[in-house]
Each structure stands twice: as structure tokens, then as C-alpha cells.
Structure 1
Amino acid sequence: MSDSRDRVTLFLARLEASSILLVEWETSLQIRLGYPLASNGSRFLLVPDAQLQKVQDIAAELGFSPADEDTLRSAYPCELSGLAVRYLIDDAAHDEGPPRRRFVFLPMSWTGITRDELVPITVDDGLWPTLPSSVWTVPLPAACAAFARIAAREKHTSPIHDAVTEQLSSVIGYSLFDMSYEGDYMEFLPNDQPLSDQEKLEIEHAVMEIKSWAFREHEEWIRDVLIGIYTGKKTFSDLSNQKSATL
């Protein structure tokens, strides 16, 4: 099939027909959580570990071949994990411009997300060409916990750590803070400038919200680090090498 939209739709339909649980990740999840990214139509999906081989079998039946770095250069954080199974959506190749559109599948165990944390997508908001019932999403608290787990396994100087903490800070920022500003550019204020009353209220609200999130018993350190970050007592590098950061 030459039409890329048809290829995407058919692939998703076959996955749904095989009862494969699909969980949105990367761009579409971040957009759903309020981070105003532009999507080029790539698809990033978490799959139960036991179903990942079935995804690859269906892809092969439809004529999709796994992409390596020579075919498709990694451009998104999850692709740096070494666990991603990747396929090109478009046939046309180009060396410059935006990243080429891709299907990327990852084992759910990489994020530590479990089935009971997932929620169905109930509104077709245009993020998917069609919305298979097998595609689920991740609420903000569970997504932030997953980002923190991934960052905690990495050295604070690693590309994955930098990318994932940027995702974490962005989804929290756009979900819990007023990220609007006046004019054509954002003015970055000096660190020693006192916070405004509005900024203090936003921080208090964000801290209260994070305190309300339920974390697993051995992962309460995530709440402590996040609250420390937004109260100025910690930084995102403090997520690294947490001794309790095991899945």
C-alpha cells in the first residue's frame, strides 16, 4: 500500500484485531498531557512485553521491516533505550528536514507502567488517524512516575536522562503552572529575583497536587524529589541513581 495513512490504519487495525494492548507514549502522550508539541504523525506505543513479538510478526506480514540506524536515525528519547522496535511509515527518504515518520514499539517494563494505571482514550481529539479501542493512555501522575523511574536509572549526564527530565518538567509545567506569557518572546528573569505572589501561589498549588498523587510504597522518593525540585531544594539531577529506583 502506497498511502501512508492507509498503512498506519491497517497496522493499527491488525494490532487491535489481535487484542494487543497499546499504550501511547512520547509525542501523543505529551500532547494529551498539555505539552503543546507538534506531531509529524509518528506513533510511539508501549506494549506488554509478552505481546511485543506478536507486534513484530504482524508488521512482517504487512511488509514492514525493522529499521536500524542506517535506515532510520534515532531522534526521540525512547529510541535511545536500545529496546525499541522501529518501522518507517513513509517510503520516501530524505536526509534533511524534520525526523522521518515512524512506528516505534517498546516493552511496557521499560517504563514500569502497569495495566491498572492505564485509562481508555474516550475522545477522538485528532491525535490518531483512527482511534482503536486497544489504544490506552497514561494519566499525569503515572506518566511522571514513569519518567522519574527512567531518569533514575541513568547517569545525570546521559542523553536519556536529559531528554526524559525535559519531558517530565514540561508536562508538569504545562499541567500545573501558567505557561502563558506576553509578547513575541519569553523573558528569562534572573535567579535572584524574588518570586511574585502569583508564582508563589502556583508553586503551592503544584506541591499540593503532587502530594495528592498516589505512588507505590517503594517509590515515594519520587514525590519527595519532585516537591524538592519545585520548592528549590533539589534539581532534576537528584533523580539519578536513586537506590530505590527498581521496577
Structure 2
Amino acid sequence: MEQQDLILKTIDDFHKSEITLVEWETPLLARLGYPLAPKADFIFLIPDEQIQQANRIASSNGLSDDKKRLNSYLSEHAKRGTRYVSGEPPRRLILLPLSWTGIQMNELTAIPSSSPRTIWTVPLPVFCTASLRIIMQEDHQSYARAMAIADLTNVVAYSMFDMSYEGNYMKFPEDEFDENGEISQEDRQKNIEAAKEKDTLEMQNALETMRGWKLTRESEWAREMMMDLVSGKREYRRLPCQDEKSSK
């Protein structure tokens, strides 16, 4: 069997052995609305009680890591789980313990598919809560923490706000232009105000959405924290961190 097929065979063997697979990182971020370029890598969260069995299956199929390959994903920088590299061009299979995220199986939903082989996904509220846990587990200056903050802020931005324009000005079809093709000052000011009103409405809608999130009792703390972060009452970089806890 070609090396490129070893990862696909391993995933097939996971299904045959009833290993629970939960999509994570790039595939999940894209599903939640963050427009990332698709990659050929596979990254799964696996229940802790199944992680050893999954690693045995991967190893028995001849998969191994390539220590020379630089870290690319958050989980690699956080030194979590086990990475396998196979094929040409090389692609990764990364297996991570579900406990790292604090996610419970009853918080997941199955990805709709015609295949009887289920892969689970993480709803937005659960992803946000898990990201906060990961951020607070890392040291303040860690690259993994910075990546987790970036992923969280981008997912929230693209899933709850209109990211089709940047800056403080949007062009509208009814704008008036002068003989030089420039928009009139009156319309420019009018549209700046319209954009501000739009931003305010989006913020209100985002906060209302968060108020309606269905969270477990153990995750309820994340609602207020996310609302404070999104509204600007709190800064992501000032969230608690591991080295801060250790110094107390």
C-alpha cells in the first residue's frame, strides 16, 4: 500500500474499531465560518479512554512521526497528542485527547453524512468555551496561547459579524460622485454613520446570540467571559494564564 493511503486506511480502521473521532483545528474552524484554505491533514480529538487504542492502530499500520517537520498547528505548539506524518507530499494525522479541551461527548453533534461512519463536530458555543480553557492553560507568552486567541477571535468575527469590508467606510450603490469620480463629503459622512449603526446592530445581535447559547452547567462561566471579550469590556491578552496561576 502506498504511504499516502496509510492515513486513510488508519482512519478506516478507527471506524471499524468504533473509535470516536471529533474534528478539530482547520476543518472545524472552516466549518464554523473562518475562511481558511483546506489542508490535506487530519486532526481529531479522541476520548481519553480510546486514545491508546487509536495510537496502537496507527503504529501497527506503519505510521510514525517525522521529527524534522516543523510545528504548524496549535496542538503541535502546545505539545498535545501524537502526530503521524505520511505520504508525499507529506500530510499529518494528529490524535489529541478530548480532555485537553474539556469538551464532553454530550456537547458534540454528528456531521451530516450519507456514510454510516460518524465523525463528530463541535458547535460554536462549545468551541468558544474549549478555546478559553486552552488559552488559560498556556503561559502568557506561549505561541500556542497566541494561536488559540487568534483562532477564537477570527471564528467569532466571521461567524457573528460582517467581514466583507474593512475600515470605517462602505460604498453604497446610491452614493453621489463628483466630476473626479470621488464620493461627496456629505455621502461619505452619511455612510460612515450608517456603518457605525450597522456595527452597533451586529454587536447587539452577537451578544443576544450568546445569551441564548445552550451551555452545560460546568461551562456556564464562559458565557459572561465571551460577552465581555466580544463587547470590549475585557481583553483577550489579559485572560488568566498558567504562569500567572503558578506565581501565586
Question: What are the superposed Cα offsets for residues 145-189 of structure 1, whole Å, 9 maximum, x if unpaired?
Answer: 1001111122332211110011111111111111112xxxx4478
Corresponding residue to 1:116 among 101, 106, 109: 106
The answer for unaligned runs of 5 or more in structure 1 is: 93-99, 125-130
Q: 1:101 aligns to what?
A: 91
1:221 aligns with 2:218: no
Relative distance call for 1:132 and 1:2 in structure 2 (3 A) is: farther
| CA–CA distance in structure 1, aligned partners of residues 67 and 137 of structure 2 | 24
C-alpha displacement of 1:9: 2.5
| CA–CA distance in structure 2, aligned partners of residues 219 and 60 of structure 1 | 35
Question: What are the superposed Cα offsets for residues 175-207 of structure 1, whole Å, 9 maximum, x if unpaired?
Answer: 1111112xxxx4478xxx987000000000001
Contact 1:42–1:103 (CA under 8 A) maintained in structure 2? yes
C-alpha displacement of 1:52: 1.0
Q: 1:95 aligns to what?
A: none
Q: 2:27 aligns to what?
A: 28
C-alpha displacement of 1:59: 1.1
Contact 2:111–2:118 (CA under 8 A) maintained in structure 1? no
| CA–CA distance in structure 2, aligned partners of residues 239 and 210 of structure 1 | 19
| CA–CA distance in structure 2, aligned partners of residues 56 and 74 of structure 1 | 19
Provide the aligned length of Structure 1 versus Structure 2: 221
C-alpha displacement of 1:225: 1.9
Secondary structure of 2:2's counterpart equals coil
Q: 1:233 aligns to what?
A: 233
C-alpha displacement of 1:241: 3.5
Q: 2:187 aligns to what?
A: none
C-alpha displacement of 1:218: 4.6
Secondary structure of 2:95's counterpart equals strand
Relative distance call for 1:238 and 1:209 in structure 2 (3 A) is: farther
Amino acid at match of 2:239: L
| CA–CA distance in structure 2, aligned partners of residues 187 and 157 of structure 1 | 29
TM-score under structure 1 length normalisation:
0.81
C-alpha displacement of 1:17: 0.1
Amino acid at match of 2:224: D
Deviation larger for 15-24 or 51-60: 51-60
Amino acid at match of 1:11: T
| CA–CA distance in structure 1, aligned partners of residues 155 and 234 of structure 2 | 18
C-alpha displacement of 1:132: 6.6
Q: 1:155 aligns to what?
A: 139
Question: What are the superposed Cα offsets for residues 48-77 of structure 1, whole Å, 9 maximum, x if unpaired?
Answer: 111111111111221112x1533x221110
Corresponding residue to 2:125 among 141, 146, 152: 141
Contact 2:3–2:86 (CA under 8 A) maintained in structure 1? no
| CA–CA distance in structure 2, aligned partners of residues 119 and 62 of structure 1 | 29
**Which one has the largest radius of gyration?**
2
| CA–CA distance in structure 2, aligned partners of residues 21 and 237 of structure 1 | 34
| CA–CA distance in structure 2, aligned partners of residues 231 and 103 of structure 1 | 37
Q: 1:167 aligns to what?
A: 151
| CA–CA distance in structure 1, aligned partners of residues 55 and 19 of structure 2 | 12
| CA–CA distance in structure 2, aligned partners of residues 202 and 156 of structure 1 | 31
| CA–CA distance in structure 2, aligned partners of residues 25 and 13 of structure 1 | 18
Matches within 5 A, 1:192-203: 196-203=196-203
Relative distance call for 1:154 and 1:132 in structure 2 (3 A) is: farther
Amino acid at match of 1:46: L
| CA–CA distance in structure 2, aligned partners of residues 59 and 132 of structure 1 | 22
| CA–CA distance in structure 2, aligned partners of residues 26 and 41 of structure 1 | 12
Deviation larger for 39-48 or 131-140: 131-140
